[in-house]
Amino acid sequence: MTDRPNILFIMADQLTAFALRAYGNRVCRTPNLDALAARGTVFEHCYCNFPVCAPSRASLLTGRLASRLGVYDNACEFPSSAPTIAYYMSALGYHTSLAGKMHFVGPDQLHGYQERLTTDIYPSDFGWTPDWRHMVPVAATGLNLRSVVESGTCRRSLQLDYDDEVAARAVQRIYDYGRSPQERPFFFTVSFTHPHNPYVITEDYWNRYDPARIDAPRVPPLPPDRHDPHSRRLRDIYRFDEYRVSPEDVLRSRHAYYAMISYVDDQVGRLLQALRDMDLEDDTVVVFTSDHGDMLGERGLWYKWTLFEGAVRIPLIAAAPGQRPFRVATPVSLLDLLPTFIDLGGAAGRGLRPVSETEGRSLAPCLAGGPAPAPRPVFAEMTADGAVRPCLMVRKGPWKYIHCESDPPQLFQLERDPVEVENLAGGREAAAIEAELRALVAAHWDEAGLAREMQASAARRLFIQQTRQAGRFEPWDYEPRKDPSRQFVRSGENGSATTVKGRARYPFVAPKPPDNPR
């Protein structure tokens, strides 16, 4: 591997680690991700730091918990003053580009990326702001369990329209990187919206699976009195009782989810093939992850918003050229990606250090045959849907503790109880570790201040959103800039058609001198 490799950073949306073969699933078919895992590093216990799209991505890009940035839900502005991975990589001399979803809220729709190849898929304004007065988070989304009872096949979907464009633009950009050595090294983020609900996919992907082999949730639906208070609030907010969900609905939804993952896997294959086509494979580190997971019917819960493993455990697979395959059991999180990327980009040799506090650590030694990272606590938070007070999580070793001032605590020993059905909080057996983890939470967050600010922030944003809707304001949405006159052979300034086409040929063939010059 070169000392300044290209980096291709691929993201899925709402992909739980438990759905992939690299993490033990034997149903989902993902040959390209399997091959990536077989030659790279698989982080077996990677966590998102917030099980909701926009806060998770803000946290990932800055290496800081979302609450430190003032990002509390899916409609919080991501501050432009926050240094991101893209800014750091640009400072290291990388060309930075983004194709696909990143769910930036606010007028800054680049956050350090030098170019963006597509628009986003979700709102950039404050329209999904929670109204805590009525306990109705993101009411405009109208979410319920229709995605479950209406799951199945389709001919087209909004998400297919979007991700097809993302993949096409991304493959073309890799071709252009290959033909333009001056734009290397590059840090290229490609972010898909699959397998986010609704659970629908075309028949060709659906037919890759035998319905009889689709696995059921490990924990069946729980009666209301056995759910924790936060889960009960989620069920009320999103009207989980509005539809009767049958076992057939559950299996059909999981079938579609797996098929959607196979679609993502095919797009990953297209990107990796483009690297090979342009002789970039041996100079490029490939990293694959997701912003959060999906409960997929476990305990009768769906989608995200919870700190249970299905929603917060995500895949993290990284493959560097020439590395030996490696599996890391130490818990890590998306906070670790910023220091990892800038480490791979040669920050130490160039004297570049983070200009604001970051909370992760570099995982780059795991790609160079080095040791696994030393164990340390991993933190996650949830201040959005259903969280009347901040829900805070710490994982240390096999122990996982969830604290919320309004709810009873939860403590799980994940090696013995991976499906989190035995709450050990309050018991004598685990009293010492519970006290230790409670102290870690208290030291890591100002819970009372966070509770006040998450609601005050919502009130400010609701006022601004209502005012913007009532008046005439420029939208914050991003439209990719393209100059058609500079494409293909559209400009005479680029030279003759023969010259332009010759420069675009890869591998490049130097012009042959004429046999009979005139």
| Inside any domain, residue 16 | yes
Which member of 28, 46, 48, 53 is catalytic? 53
Yes or no: say if 301 and 21 are a contact pair by the CB < 8 Å rule. no
Torsion on CA atoms 156, 160, 165, 170, rounded to nearest 10: -150
Q: Highest-confidence range of 142-151, 222-231, 383-392, 437-446, by mean pLDDT?
A: 437-446
The mean pLDDT value for 105-109 works out to 95
Residue 140 reports pLDDT greater than 50? no
Residue 367 reports pLDDT greater than 50? yes
CA triplet 20, 26, 30: central angle to 5 degrees? 45
d(CA 489, CA 20): 44
Neighbours of 479 (CB within 10 A): 10
Helix 247-277 crosses helix 31-39 at what angle (to 10 degrees)? 60
CA triplet 64, 66, 70: central angle to 5 degrees? 115
**pLDDT for 142:** 64
Confidence of residue 139 (pLDDT cuts 50, 70, 90): very low
Residue 234 reports pLDDT greater than 60? yes
Chain segment 279-313, per-residue pLDDT in tens: 999 999 999 999 999 999 999 999 999 999 999 99
Residue 340 reports pLDDT greater than 50? yes
d(CA 220, CA 231): 14
Chain segment 499-509, per-residue pLDDT in tens: 777 777 778 77
Which member of 45, 48, 76, 103 is catalytic? 103
d(CA 278, CA 336): 30
Confidence of residue 249 (pLDDT cuts 50, 70, 90): very high
**pLDDT for 516:** 76
| Inside any domain, residue 12 | yes
Residue 495 reports pLDDT greater than 70? no
Residue 459 reports pLDDT greater than 70? yes
Tell me how many domains the chain contains. 1
| Inside any domain, residue 370 | no
The model's pTM is 0.94
d(CA 124, CA 132): 21
**pLDDT for 501:** 77
- For 433-458, give one letter per residue: b (16+ CB within 10 A) or e: bbeebbebbeeebebeebbebbbebb
53 is catalytic: yes
Beta strand residue intervals within 32-94, DSSP E: 41-43, 46-47
| Inside any domain, residue 241 | yes
Chain segment 36-72, per-residue pLDDT in tens: 999 999 999 999 999 999 999 999 999 999 999 999 9
Domain range for 276 is 6-138+147-357
| Inside any domain, residue 474 | no
Residue 236 reports pLDDT greater than 50? yes
The mean pLDDT value for 153-180 works out to 96
- CA neighbor of 29 nearest in space, from 265, 252, 254: 265
Yes or no: say if 368 and 322 are a contact pair by the CB < 8 Å rule. no
Residue 296 identity (one-letter amino acid): L
| Inside any domain, residue 466 | no
CATH number at residue 223: 3.40.720.10
d(CA 106, CA 360): 25
d(CA 88, CA 101): 20
Residue 42 tokens read as: 């698989």
Residue 138 reports pLDDT greater than 50? no
| Inside any domain, residue 499 | no
